[in-house]
């Protein structure tokens, strides 16, 4: 993707807050292949610093990270001028019923349990938040051979 940011001018920024380095790297690699500019933070202090500095278009937030928990990161963001309106999507090992109360009231885009989230679902949820409706149909990166779906690079059939 040299020299071509994305269809919207500049590449949209995502901060991935995840203490599992391998998982954070998987998310980062997949989303960068879709054209997003990703930053990772492995603890709450680093997360707040990166979010404040980069002012991303989206934060993917794990709740159970060291130093400052995810719900406290969200609360700090919402009380600040720099983080008040940044979309946040929670991706956690906790079921939402077991998560700290008040997350939805603080304004999150949604909530997913890591074990139930496939890589393709991650791609789709990020695209659903960040891509305009009229541009979503051509973001198919890879699919199983489903009827009516043409994977990228296979346009001459």
Give the CATH number, domain containing residue 73: 3.40.50.2300
Instruction: Examine residue 147 and state whether it is found in any structural domain, yes or no.
Output: no
Instruction: Examine residue 91 and state whether it is found in any structural domain, yes or no.
Output: yes
Instruction: Examine residue 155 and state whether it is found in any structural domain, yes or no.
Output: no
pLDDT at residue number 131: 87
Q: Is 107 left (phi over 0), alpha (psi -120 to 50) or beta?
A: left
Instruction: Examine residue 103 and state whether it is found in any structural domain, yes or no.
Output: yes
Total of domains in the chain = 1
pLDDT at residue number 20: 97
Report d(CA 46, CA 54) in Å as an integer. 12
Ranges of residues in the chain whose predicted pLDDT is under 70: 1-10, 133-157
Report d(CA 33, CA 31) in Å as an integer. 5
Q: Which two tokens stand for residue 127?
A: 């695209």
Question: Residue 134 is part of which domain span?
Answer: 13-138
pLDDT at residue number 157: 42
Report d(CA 31, CA 28) in Å as an integer. 5
Report d(CA 18, CA 32) in Å as an integer. 16
pLDDT at residue number 132: 75
Strand partners, 113: 92
pLDDT at residue number 153: 45
Report the 10 Å Cβ neighbour count for 121. Answer: 11
pLDDT at residue number 135: 61
Instruction: Examine residue 4 and state whether it is found in any structural domain, yes or no.
Output: no
pLDDT at residue number 87: 98
pLDDT at residue number 5: 45
Instruction: Examine residue 151 and state whether it is found in any structural domain, yes or no.
Output: no
Instruction: Examine residue 154 and state whether it is found in any structural domain, yes or no.
Output: no
pTM: 0.81
């Amino acid at each position: 993707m040299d020299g071509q940011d994305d269809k919207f001018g500049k590449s949209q920024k995502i901060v991935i807050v995840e203490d599992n380095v391998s998982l954070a790297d998987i998310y980062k690699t997949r989303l960068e292949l879709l054209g997003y500019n990703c930053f990772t933070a492995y603890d709450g202090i680093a997360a707040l610093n990166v979010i404040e500095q980069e002012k991303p278009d989206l934060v993917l937030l794990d709740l159970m990270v060291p130093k400052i928990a995810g719900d406290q990161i969200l609360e700090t963001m919402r009380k600040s001028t720099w983080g008040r309106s940044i979309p946040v999507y929670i991706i956690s090992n906790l079921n939402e019923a077991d998560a700290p109360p008040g997350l939805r009231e603080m304004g999150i885009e949604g909530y997913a349990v890591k074990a139930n989230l496939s890589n393709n679902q991650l791609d789709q949820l990020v695209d659903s938040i960040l891509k305009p409706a009229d541009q979503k149909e051509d973001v198919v990166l890879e699919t199983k051979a489903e009827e009516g779906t043409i994977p990228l690079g296979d346009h001459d059939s």
